[in-house]
Structure 1
Amino acid sequence: MKRILFFYLPGIFILAISFLISCGKNTRQAVFDHLDVVAQKVIVSNSELISCDLTKLKDTVDIPLSLFIDDLQMIRFDNRDEALVGFTAINITNEHILVRNTRQNPFKLFNKKGEFITTIGSYGQGPNEYTDVYDQWLDEETGQIFILPWTTKKILRFDLQNNALEPIPLRYRVPKAQISVNAKDSTVSVFTLPFTGIPAVAWTQDFHGNLIDSIPSGHLAVPITFNNEVYSTQNCDAFDCFIFIFEGDRNDTLYHYNIAKNRLDPKFTLDFKDKPWQIHSYEELPRHFLGQITVEKKLSESMSITEDPSNYIVDKRTLKGGFYRLYNDFLGNIPMKWAAFYRGYYFWNVDPGDLADLLAKHLKESAGLSEKERTKLTDLLNSIDENDNNYLFYGKLKQ
């Protein structure tokens, strides 16, 4: 049966949004006060696993973005032609912003003011070129950028001035994979989509391709199809790993790849109880587990679609949770359909025209805005030039 998937899996100056607010203990308590305990902690393979009972996810709560971040910054990317970016993922570090490539548009490196530094590599199939990329890593301490293409047996490597460095040969060819790089020790850890025939689901190696440790694919092996995915957001002090299954139903888990002990520690799962299996995902933040779950709708004998997914949340400390709707309380409580969290940051990479439309619509339809909020959103709207490069909103995750 063919499926169509609807699933949300992100002049030069820096503008600090002046209507920042903070969210402390009281806000966190208020969000979860009226929710039930929906999960329990169990010990599996000497690791503490949070198991969420799907049948207990009932209530829907409105959650402010400030539950996850303390403040929100806005950057207008450099407008030079060579700096233009599209709607794509962002890798933010202490001093840099690395914008993910899109088709025929390579990676772009900026500083935290939005000033363009350089293009990284180039689009193509020659030496030090790439087309589709599955993961990347920016290491500021050693000044290196690591790029992992799809279906590859090597990681491309560049310095921050776009000089190509010696690629890293991978111990095994990967169809799709996530990486965690220890550039100081010249080692890289890999978690791959474990196609049948790939001997390891995870391994650590040195930059010369020499194997240090590996974990057999075992029960995690999947059929050879590119419909499934492998995710790792690394928002916590851990290499989190999750295999997203699109075809076929099976029990699954979000793991931490414990590199020091060479094992996968189970950390979060959904217990469907007597409910039928549904397409779903997991994501870890410092204080919460998030996810999406959707219901498949059959259109005919040969085709089905999925409805817009529902978002759910589980608090790690209280084990309370439920379904939720997110709103941006830094921007006048604008409703958010989704949010991107990656390597310790929330980000929203947005086209200025789309932002202008969203602000105009919100100002027109939101009667409950205070005069102060209305003034600030209006000022922001009036400052937008739809011919600009993209704008970036970001904030560091609360630990």
Structure 2
Amino acid sequence: MKCKLFIYTVGIFFFSFSLFSYGSDKKRGNLDHLNVVAKKTVIGNSELISCDLTKLKDTVDIPLSLLVEDLQMIRLDKRDEALVGVSSVIVTDNYVLFRNNKQNPYKLFNKKGKFLRTIGAYGQGPNEYLNVYDDWLDEKTGQIFILPWQSDKILRFDLQGKALEPIPLKYRVPKGKFFVNTANSTVSVFLLPFAGIPAVAWTQDFKGNMTGSIPAGHLSVKPDFSNEVASNKNTDGFDCSLFTFFEQRPDSIYHYNTKDNKLDPKFTLDFNNKPWKIHWYEELPLHFIGNVTVEKKLDQYTSTTEYPAKFIVDKKTLKGGFYKLYNDFMGDIPISWAAFGNGYYTWSIEPGDLIDLLTKQLEQNKKLTEKDRKKLTDLLNSIDENDNNYLFYGKLKK
């Protein structure tokens, strides 16, 4: 089997938590000085933005403040049962939900960092899960939805951790993303359509009754789990994309239009007759971002990839280029990889790693302002290596 690697990361005692707000005094960057690299085309009733890879010339340093409104920090409760490790995070108005990681179950916190409870359990029994591919926290109705790999149902819990009736799915989902409409009790699913699965997407009610489906057709893929499905849920629509890393074919970010039961293309990358490259992209409220890289064979059975080149396209101006992201809220710390989902930027980091990062920045960045230096120094001095993870988050600009 070919290995594919991709570079993109009760006792009684006192605990404390706090919430810090960081603001940037620097001029907020933009892409105005870059060239137009994309064009708009109307396909049906949908407007498609197509980025010409050959026009991505310049590389620009982008501040995080271009994409997010502000940056908050949460010190998570450090009781043993609250420890999370590094995993993906859902942030809502009042809650923070950490995905299960290495047999660690889902953990729910409030926005002050207080641990509330675990959600479900790691295992193979009723209302348990092993590896999870997608999740959803609906604060309005007080429900958490969890879709494990290779599952024929979506698990459901309330915010008190009580298991609710699972949602039976019309088809078993090897890998998939879903979008919940709690107002009418429906769920829409976009999946990796292996041979034998007749649909790439469908909508159904919570009882499993289908209301519409989209045939897999040309989107069908070989049963290869190196392929991925993506949906970042950063806009009002259900964005979904299918990435076949080693199969050369056109692809797009779609919005699943449940009203008309179709996939509306929104963004694609045009290689303009140049050699095909492995690529990935996602949607933000005001931009499309992505990266391109090439495969390197290490031997007959093993492959790796070069470090990816990241690009960004402004939805309105169609200007863009390659970019490097830095955290201007925290003394211009470089960001090698950024997580955007459910309308937020999130960064979860272990205390030892944060100490190393801050120490390096204070030692090597000679251009730090006095204000930024004091900010980072104060934070560094407040960190305990025995703390739980530190979570930084910011709401995406719209």
User: TM-score normalized by structure 2?
Assistant: 0.96
Report the secondary structure of 2:329's partner residue: coil
Q: CA–CA distance in 1 between the matches of 2:169 and 2:336?
A: 38
Q: Is the 8 A contact 2:204 2:212 kept in 1?
A: yes
Q: CA–CA distance in 2 between the matches of 1:233 and 1:95?
A: 20
Equivalences for residues 91-170 of structure 1 within 5 A? 91-170=90-169
| Worse-matched range after superposition: 38-47 or 325-334 | 38-47
Q: Is the 8 A contact 1:253 1:266 kept in 2?
A: yes
* Post-superposition CA distance 1:319-375 (Å, at most 9, x none): 011000000000000111011000100000110110000000010001111111111
Q: Which residue of 1 aligns with 2:2?
A: 2
Q: Which residue of 1 aligns with 2:12?
A: none
Q: Which residue of 2 aligns with 1:27?
A: 28
Using the aligned pairs only, state the percent identity. Answer: 65
Q: CA–CA distance in 2 between the matches of 1:95 and 1:224?
A: 40
User: Quick one: structure 1 residues 83 and 320, their matched pair in 2 at CA, closer, same or farther if it must change by over 3 Å?
Assistant: same
For the pair 1:377 / 2:380, whether they are aligned, the reply is: no
Q: Which residue of 1 aligns with 2:16?
A: 12
Report the secondary structure of 1:358's partner residue: helix
Q: CA–CA distance in 1 between the matches of 2:271 and 2:141?
A: 45
Structure 1, gaps ≥5 residues long:
none
Q: CA–CA distance in 1 between the matches of 2:150 and 2:246?
A: 20
Offset at residue 120 of structure 1 (A): 0.2
Q: CA–CA distance in 1 between the matches of 2:73 and 2:28?
A: 24
Q: Is the 8 A contact 1:283 1:289 kept in 2?
A: yes
Report the secondary structure of 2:28's partner residue: helix
Q: CA–CA distance in 2 between the matches of 1:168 and 1:260?
A: 21
Q: Which residue of 1 aligns with 2:239?
A: 240
Offset at residue 301 of structure 1 (A): 5.0
Q: Is the 8 A contact 1:22 1:66 kept in 2?
A: no
Q: Which residue of 1 aligns with 2:59?
A: 60
Q: CA–CA distance in 2 between the matches of 1:300 and 1:119?
A: 43
Offset at residue 142 of structure 1 (A): 1.3
Q: Is the 8 A contact 1:142 1:184 kept in 2?
A: no
Report the secondary structure of 1:363's partner residue: helix
Q: CA–CA distance in 2 between the matches of 1:22 and 1:234?
A: 29
Offset at residue 305 of structure 1 (A): 2.1
* Post-superposition CA distance 1:49-77 (Å, at most 9, x none): 00000000111000000001121000011
User: Quick one: structure 1 residues 162 and 265, their matched pair in 2 at CA, closer, same or farther if it must change by over 3 Å?
Assistant: same
Q: Which residue of 2 aligns with 1:254?
A: 253
Name the amino acid aligned to 1:12: S
User: Quick one: structure 1 residues 275 and 238, their matched pair in 2 at CA, closer, same or farther if it must change by over 3 Å?
Assistant: same
Structure 1 runs of 4+ aligned residues shifted over 6 Å read: none
| Worse-matched range after superposition: 365-374 or 322-331 | 365-374
Q: Is the 8 A contact 2:71 2:393 kept in 1?
A: yes
Name the amino acid aligned to 1:59: D
Q: CA–CA distance in 2 between the matches of 1:89 and 1:301?
A: 33
Name the amino acid aligned to 1:27: R
* Post-superposition CA distance 1:28-55 (Å, at most 9, x none): 5xx3232111000011233110000000
Q: Is the 8 A contact 1:22 1:70 kept in 2?
A: no
Report the secondary structure of 1:335's partner residue: strand
Q: CA–CA distance in 1 between the matches of 2:297 and 2:179?
A: 39
Q: CA–CA distance in 2 between the matches of 1:300 and 1:227?
A: 18
Q: Is the 8 A contact 2:63 2:326 kept in 1?
A: yes
Q: Which residue of 2 aligns with 1:71?
A: 70
Name the amino acid aligned to 1:387: N
Offset at residue 206 of structure 1 (A): 0.5
Name the amino acid aligned to 2:5: L
For the pair 1:298 / 2:297, whether they are aligned, the reply is: yes
Q: Which residue of 2 aligns with 1:203?
A: 202
Q: CA–CA distance in 1 between the matches of 2:108 and 2:16?
A: 15
Q: Is the 8 A contact 1:200 1:215 kept in 2?
A: yes
Residues paired across the two proteins, number? 393
Q: Which residue of 2 aligns with 1:310?
A: 309
Report the secondary structure of 1:195's partner residue: coil
| Worse-matched range after superposition: 294-303 or 106-115 | 294-303
Q: Which residue of 2 aligns with 1:277?
A: 276
Report the secondary structure of 2:378's partner residue: helix
Offset at residue 224 of structure 1 (A): 0.9
Q: Is the 8 A contact 1:144 1:159 kept in 2?
A: yes
Q: Is the 8 A contact 1:57 1:323 kept in 2?
A: yes
Q: CA–CA distance in 1 between the matches of 2:36 and 2:104?
A: 46
Q: Is the 8 A contact 2:4 2:226 kept in 1?
A: no
Offset at residue 302 of structure 1 (A): 4.7
Q: Is the 8 A contact 1:327 1:334 kept in 2?
A: yes
Q: CA–CA distance in 2 between the matches of 1:109 and 1:242?
A: 28
Offset at residue 139 of structure 1 (A): 1.0
* Post-superposition CA distance 1:256-279 (Å, at most 9, x none): 001111110000000001211111
Q: Which residue of 2 aligns with 1:43?
A: 42
Offset at residue 126 of structure 1 (A): 0.6
Offset at residue 100 of structure 1 (A): 0.5
Q: CA–CA distance in 1 between the matches of 2:6 and 2:222?
A: 22
Offset at residue 3 of structure 1 (A): 5.1
Q: CA–CA distance in 1 between the matches of 2:183 and 2:25?
A: 36
Name the amino acid aligned to 2:18: I
Q: Which residue of 2 aligns with 1:288?
A: 287
Report the secondary structure of 1:13's partner residue: coil
